[in-house]
Structure 1
């Protein structure tokens, strides 16, 4: 069976940079909790992290559709293309929960 990998539609380095920024934000929240900072300030930072991680997910989903899904639909038989579309629908459902 062929190993599936992320295609190169989006800049991998830009995604890694975003993820490292998110990692720093999470560590910042940990520090805020340890310092017993004001709850509202912590919640605002949590909201910012949610937004940032959703953006990364959206970029990766975009990458998947423009790379893997598009290639599969163009190159595979109709049965395999249907499987790919079903996988995409399931992935979107999981991502949006």
Structure 2
């Protein structure tokens, strides 16, 4: 799977957020300051996961040009693993 530029950019932003959190921890920032940043990272990763699953679903359904039970089942398995 090649990386969509939108997904790559989102992951790079997330990487920057994580580096910022590490810096905050090194600077001994409070839990109240760090937690919102951690929640933002979690939200960002959740969004990336949704985009990846959506792209996979499109590929599963478009490769053959038809919706086969096998392709739909493969896509659903990926979604339920989230």
Q: TM-score range by the shorter chain?
A: 0.7 to 0.9
Contact 2:21 2:34 in 1 (8 A): yes
User: How far off is 1:84 after superposition?
Assistant: 1.9
1:53 correspondence with 2:40? no
Provide the TM-score with structure 2 as the length reference: 0.84
Contact 2:14 2:41 in 1 (8 A): yes
Report the counterpart of residue 24 of structure 1 in structure 2: 16
Contact 1:15 1:56 in 2 (8 A): yes
Runs ≥4 residues deviating over 4 A:
none
CA distance in 1, matches of 2:51, 2:75: 14
Structure 2 SS opposite 1:74: coil
Report the counterpart of residue 65 of structure 1 in structure 2: 57
- How many residues are aligned here? 82
Q: CA RMSD in A?
A: 2.0
Provide the TM-score with structure 1 as the length reference: 0.73
Query: Larger relative contact order (C-alpha < 8 A, sep ≥ 6)?
Result: 1
Contact 1:18 1:56 in 2 (8 A): yes
Show structure 2 runs of 5+ residues with no match: none
Show structure 1 runs of 5+ residues with no match: none
User: How far off is 1:82 after superposition?
Assistant: 2.1
